[in-house]
């Protein structure tokens, strides 16, 4: 008996106008023409797609299933670029982007021109990123997040998705998009997808192609610094767990218990945990900062913009005794290329 042949996906559909996008049925490309069922997911990009973007598309495809639809947007948004930034230099590789999007499972690519998105020129009304938008990336790039949120809002209106997928590598961007969707009641579910890294730890980025071999070697300090901070946190957690395992019984049995478990070692560990607990966020920063300081002496050097350990709810710095989820974030220039990276961390109640 012959096995049934799998249904072949139609080629990805390229759209470049809002009118074409609005006429696009919400059915998947694997369905018959005119089908209109399933959920729509959107993956927003500025093009120059790499495997990090492909991971977003694959995740979206898995979530909406074969009856759903995945739309990838490719638009280099001029509102996100400030003076002396790389708008003109930013890579534009639409043919390669179409091939990658199709291979990853996209049904359509919306790649409009600037005057299609902003038909009246620079918009007079924009989304304000508020106080969070002025921190870290926003402090370095004034107006960047206002421009980002403005285009994300427009693209959400144009694509009308049920789900939207963004990479966690742009952690502050993701946090602001979630805040906007909540505050302005957008009917969309926002998904954050973990950062994709190359084998050497470098976070995938469209800007990595600007790096020379020597610059790439220096750029690896960003991920090494983040991992050093993570390892410092893990070491402190291990010390805490060991101290707790050695904690003596309460009450009248305290002296006997301490003697049995080794009073000197238990007391020393307990003291170390108590001393380090309040200062653990700064210890994490210090471990990362040491790696970045060393990279400042490389050839070419790493020029640090910021290193921050922040609360992902508002991107304020995590202070002494902080507990819960945090983001350790870094931005730096290597040569003419500015790179960002981050990792999520979890500070326990004892930290």
- The Cβ-side half-sphere exposure at 117, using a 13 Å CA radius, reads 25
Tell me the CA distances in angstroms from 35 to 11, 15, 64, one per residue in order: 16, 18, 15
Is 22 assigned a catalytic role? no
Nearest to 112 by CA among 75, 58, 61, 59: 75
User: What residue has token string 């870290």?
Assistant: 136
Tell me the CA distances in angstroms from 2 to 9, 18, 30, 38, 102, one per residue in order: 21, 44, 22, 31, 28
CA distance 194 to 174: 11
* SS3 state of residue 6: coil
Which 8-state DSSP code applies to residue 252? G
Alpha helix segments (H runs only) across the chain: 18-23, 51-64, 94-104, 114-117, 137-140, 144-159, 171-183, 213-245, 254-261, 263-295
Q: How far is CA 327 from the centre of its chain?
A: 10
Q: Residue 38 corresponds to which tokens in the numbers above? A: 């399933």
For residue 39, the tally of other CB atoms under 10 A from its CB is 18
For residue 53, the tally of other CB atoms under 10 A from its CB is 28
Q: Which of 22, 53, 157, 290 is catalytic?
A: 53
Q: Residue 72 corresponds to which tokens in the numbers above? A: 């990838």
Q: Are strands 13-15 and 40-45 parallel, antiparallel or unpaired?
A: unpaired
Q: What are phi and psi of 118, to 5 degrees?
A: -125, 75
Active-site residues: which are they? 53
């Amino acid at each position: 008996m012959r096995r049934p042949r799998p249904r072949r996906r139609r080629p990805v559909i390229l759209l470049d106008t809002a009118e074409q996008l609005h006429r696009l049925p919400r059915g998947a490309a694997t369905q018959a023409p005119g089908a209109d069922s399933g959920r729509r997911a959107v993956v927003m990009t500025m093009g120059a797609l790499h495997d990090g973007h492909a991971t977003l598309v694959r995740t979206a495809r898995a979530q909406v299933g074969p009856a759903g639809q995945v739309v990838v947007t490719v638009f280099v948004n001029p509102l996100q670029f400030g003076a002396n930034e790389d708008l003109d230099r930013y890579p534009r590789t639409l043919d390669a982007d179409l091939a990658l999007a199709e291979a990853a499972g996209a049904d359509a690519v919306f790649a409009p021109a600037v005057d299609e998105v902003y038909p009246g020129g620079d918009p007079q009304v924009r989304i304000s990123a508020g106080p969070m938008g002025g921190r870290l990336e926003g402090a370095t790039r004034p107006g960047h997040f206002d421009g980002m949120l403005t285009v994300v809002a427009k693209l959400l209106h144009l694509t009308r998705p049920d789900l939207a997928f963004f990479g966690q590598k742009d952690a502050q961007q993701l946090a602001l998009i979630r805040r906007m969707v909540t505050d302005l009641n957008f009917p969309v579910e926002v998904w954050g997808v973990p950062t994709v890294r190359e084998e050497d730890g470098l976070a995938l980025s469209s800007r990595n192609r600007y790096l020379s071999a020597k610059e790439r070697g220096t750029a690896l300090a960003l991920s090494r610094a983040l991992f050093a901070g993570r390892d410092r946190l893990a070491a402190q957690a291990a010390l805490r767990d060991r101290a707790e395992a050695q904690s003596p019984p309460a009450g009248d049995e305290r002296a006997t218990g301490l003697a049995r478990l080794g009073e000197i070692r238990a007391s020393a560990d307990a003291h170390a945990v108590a001393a380090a607990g309040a200062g653990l966020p700064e210890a994490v920063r210090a471990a990362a900062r040491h790696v970045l300081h060393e990279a400042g002496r490389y050839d070419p050097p790493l020029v640090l913009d910021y290193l921050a350990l922040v609360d992902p709810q508002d991107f304020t710095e995590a202070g002494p005794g902080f507990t819960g989820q945090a983001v350790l974030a870094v931005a730096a220039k290597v040569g003419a290329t500015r790179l960002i990276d981050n990792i999520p961390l979890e500070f326990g109640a004892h930290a």
